[in-house]
């Protein structure tokens, strides 16, 4: 009996794992990176459905899969509706709230969002701002994050403000990860393994296994992090 239960549990976990993995692919990255209250509730429900399927003997895996994919379909339809009809976004995703306007706290918005001054100060400190006097505008986003526009005197100066010459910015590309060459990155940059080996030799490294990480930038060349054992 125990073996049968373990077999069913194993099957449920495997199917549940791949079902939830498929759901995250279908729904996209907003479930993680931009969690609104609606997304949060959706994630809780999906977790509860999986928990019930595992621990409730009366709920078989087929009922679980049906419930999960029905819930996923509903969430997907809501996402499509909010993309197509702009006015529905406020209802499902929420609306940004301006908590500080022109340097003054909007207490009505604070009350509406059920925040007090201590919570506002905590959100500001999370953005490395320790005084309200630095803030021109503060907007509470639907996902709970705070967007800040500082007053001019407290804002970080740009290169244009300092009359500095603008330089091209290049993206660093990883060529070696955990002692393994990423050939597709080399090819994308128009380079090859022979070039990489010569660059490593120039850094005093003759074996790829001696490199834990290596990244390349067009304007700075190759940066190498050697692999070091714990006892070395």
Q: Quick check: is 62 in a domain?
A: yes
* 78 shares its domain with 101: no
What average pLDDT does the segment 38-48 reach? 68
Between 156 and 35, the more confident residue is 156
pLDDT, position 128: 92
* pTM of the complete model: 0.57
* 185 shares its domain with 220: yes
List Cβ neighbours of 159 (8 Å cut-off, separation of 6 or more). 165, 166
* 56 shares its domain with 6: yes
- Structural contact between residues 9 and 54, judged by C-beta atoms closer than 8 angstroms: yes
* 71 shares its domain with 55: yes
Domain count of the chain? 3
- 10 Å CB burial of residue 144 (0-12, 13-18, 19+) is middle
pLDDT, position 78: 78
* 188 shares its domain with 221: yes
pLDDT, position 130: 92
* 56 shares its domain with 7: yes
- Structural contact between residues 31 and 42, judged by C-beta atoms closer than 8 angstroms: yes
* 12 shares its domain with 86: yes
- Structural contact between residues 189 and 173, judged by C-beta atoms closer than 8 angstroms: yes
Q: Quick check: is 168 in a domain?
A: no
* H/E run at residue 14: helix 2-27
Q: Quick check: is 52 in a domain?
A: yes
When computed from its CA atoms, the radius of gyration of the chain, rounded to whole angstroms, is 26
List Cβ neighbours of 37 (8 Å cut-off, separation of 6 or more). 94, 142
What average pLDDT does the segment 94-99 reach? 85
Last residue of a domain, one of 90, 116, 146: 90
Q: Where are the alpha helices (DSSP H) in 102-192?
A: 107-112, 117-125, 183-188
- DSSP character for 166? P
* 11 shares its domain with 63: yes
* 26 shares its domain with 83: yes
Q: Which domain holds residue 211?
A: 173-226
* 142 shares its domain with 202: no
Q: Quick check: is 190 in a domain?
A: yes
pLDDT-derived band of residue 221, with 50, 70 and 90 as boundaries?
very high
CA-to-CA distance for 105 and 112, rounded, in angstroms?
13
pLDDT, position 93: 66
* 83 shares its domain with 44: yes
Q: Quick check: is 159 in a domain?
A: no
pLDDT for 100-158, tens place per residue?
A: 999 999 999 999 988 999 999 999 999 999 999 999 999 998 777 899 999 988 988 87
* 12 shares its domain with 82: yes
pLDDT, position 143: 74
CATH of the domain at 203: 3.30.240.20
Q: Quick check: is 165 in a domain?
A: no
Q: Quick check: is 163 in a domain?
A: no
pLDDT of 33 strictly over 60: no
Q: Quick check: is 104 in a domain?
A: yes
pLDDT-derived band of residue 175, with 50, 70 and 90 as boundaries?
very high
């Amino acid at each position: 009996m125990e073996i049968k239960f373990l077999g069913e549990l194993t099957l449920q976990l495997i199917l549940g794992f791949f079902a939830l993995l498929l759901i995250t692919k279908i729904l996209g990255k907003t479930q993680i990176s931009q969690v609104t209250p609606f997304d949060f509730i959706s994630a809780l429900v999906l977790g509860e459905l999986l928990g019930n399927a595992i621990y409730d003997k009366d709920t078989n895996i087929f009922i679980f899969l049906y419930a999960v994919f029905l819930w996923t379909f509903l969430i997907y339809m809501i996402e499509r509706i909010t993309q197509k009809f702009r006015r529905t976004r406020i209802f499902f995703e929420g609306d940004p709230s301006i908590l500080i306007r022109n340097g003054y706290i909007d207490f009505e918005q604070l009350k509406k969002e059920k925040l007090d001054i201590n919570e506002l100060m905590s959100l500001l400190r999370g953005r490395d701002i320790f005084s309200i006097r630095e803030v021109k505008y503060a907007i509470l986003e639907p996902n709970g994050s705070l967007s800040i526009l500082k007053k001019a005197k407290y804002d970080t100066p740009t290169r244009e403000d300092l009359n500095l010459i603008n330089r091209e910015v290049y993206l660093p590309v990883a060529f070696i990860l955990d002692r393994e060459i990423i050939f597709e990155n080399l090819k994308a940059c128009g380079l090859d393994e022979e070039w990489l080996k010569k660059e490593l030799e120039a850094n005093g490294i003759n074996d790829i296994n001696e490199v834990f990480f290596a990244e390349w930038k067009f304007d700075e060349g190759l940066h190498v992090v050697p692999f070091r054992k714990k006892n070395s």
